[in-house]
Amino acid sequence: MYELIQVSENSYYIQSPAKIGLVRLDDTNVCLIDSGNDKDAGRKVRQLLDASGWKLKAIYNTHSNADHIGGNKYLQGQTGCKIYVPGIDCCFTRYPILEPSFLYGGYPCKDLRHKFLLAQESSAEYLTKDVLPEGFEIIRLPGHFFDMVGFRTPDDVVFLADCLSSRETLDKYQIGFIYDVGAYLKTLEMVKSMTAKVFVPAHAAAAEDISELAQYNIDKVKEIADKIVELCREPLCFEVILQKLFAEYGLTMNFEQYALVGSTVRSYLAWLKDTNRLNVVFENNMLLWEQKREAH
């Protein structure tokens, strides 16, 4: 873990729970793509930088999930590097209490205020084209989180952030976190047709061809959507739908899973309603979801 792996002339990644990209800008200066999940990750990254004699100029965060920005504060404090984050995610990076609050749908209890969902705040600026190193390209990857992006480096390595998961992760956990299901599917279709020297997803193995894995992720999303529609043959409240999905996929409920999977299931329900596959009805002051009935 935290091994530095070179994938092209100037592009590397650091093997960690969420892969960290590293790109050499010249003989001494480097930038990072994400920073790991906490202060300890930041410390290990700094040790790698020091061992190679590199100076950290900037961190380009793909999005604001805690496991991608958790090392920001430590590394910024140690090196004075700039931090750039796209769109709404920049606000989440400055005010990380927004992440567990958003996931829970209210003020998060202590069970949700831990480093896996609540990073330390860091001084971030908005990511724009003009703050990128020469030859870098921003790739918009909406769906998993608000304004998530990836990057293509000058030596044609594409860092894909969290836009897809490994087969092993999907087979084990089944329901990966998604904020906007419709946007996520469009992103996966776009990624499926991309070419690059190497693709580096944060939570899957680096690969020269990503199309098959992208399709596997697409199929899993559609499977879960179909499962939810099938469950709603009779009107069900959100809590019962969530319970049935956990039972169906053999998942174990705890506060973190309730927030992460629960938020994702709400996103599926919203998408299925907007695409006319589900309706809502209100009975006895309870919101119930049901299959869309064909008009006769």
Measured CA to CA, the distance from residue 44 to residue 2 in angstroms comes to: 7
User: What average pLDDT does the segment 132-156 reach?
Assistant: 98
- Give the domain CATH number at 102: 3.60.15.10
| Residue 295 scores a pLDDT above 60 | no
Within this chain, do residues 9 and 129 fall inside the same structural domain, yes or no? yes
The domain boundary, picked from 104, 137, 170, lies at: 137
Residue 1's pLDDT is 85
Residue 293's pLDDT is 79
Measured CA to CA, the distance from residue 157 to residue 150 in angstroms comes to: 10
The answer to whether residue 122 is domain-embedded is yes
Domain extent, residue 268, equals: 226-291
Query: Of the candidates 75, 86, 89, which has an alpha carbon nearest to the alpha carbon of residue 36?
Result: 75
For the chain, what is the radius of gyration of the CA atoms?
20
The answer to whether residue 203 is domain-embedded is no
User: What average pLDDT does the segment 99-115 reach?
Assistant: 97
The answer to whether residue 272 is domain-embedded is yes
pLDDT band per the 50, 70, 90 thresholds, residue 43: very high
Phi-psi region of 86 (alpha: psi -120 to 50; beta: other; left: phi over 0): beta
55 vs 1, more confident: 55
The domain boundary, picked from 137, 166, 198, lies at: 137
Within this chain, do residues 127 and 250 fall inside the same structural domain, yes or no? no
Give the chain's domain count: 2
Instruction: List, in order, residues 6 or more apart from 179 with CB less than 8 Å away.
Output: 143, 144, 145, 146, 263, 267
pLDDT band per the 50, 70, 90 thresholds, residue 226: very high
Looking at every residue in the chain, the average pLDDT score rounds to: 97
- Give the domain CATH number at 232: 1.10.10
Measured CA to CA, the distance from residue 198 to residue 208 in angstroms comes to: 5
Within this chain, do residues 10 and 112 fall inside the same structural domain, yes or no? yes
Measured CA to CA, the distance from residue 235 to residue 95 in angstroms comes to: 38
The answer to whether residue 83 is domain-embedded is yes
State pLDDT tens for residues 192-212: 999 999 999 999 999 999 999
Residue 224's pLDDT is 98
The answer to whether residue 190 is domain-embedded is no
Residue 74's pLDDT is 98
- For 2, the token pair is 């935290």
- The DSSP element (H or E) to which 5 belongs, if any, is strand 4-6
| Residue 155 scores a pLDDT above 50 | yes
The domain boundary, picked from 137, 158, 177, lies at: 137
The answer to whether residue 167 is domain-embedded is no
Residue 296's pLDDT is 43
- The DSSP element (H or E) to which 4 belongs, if any, is strand 4-6
The answer to whether residue 208 is domain-embedded is no
The answer to whether residue 250 is domain-embedded is yes
| Residue 294 scores a pLDDT above 90 | no
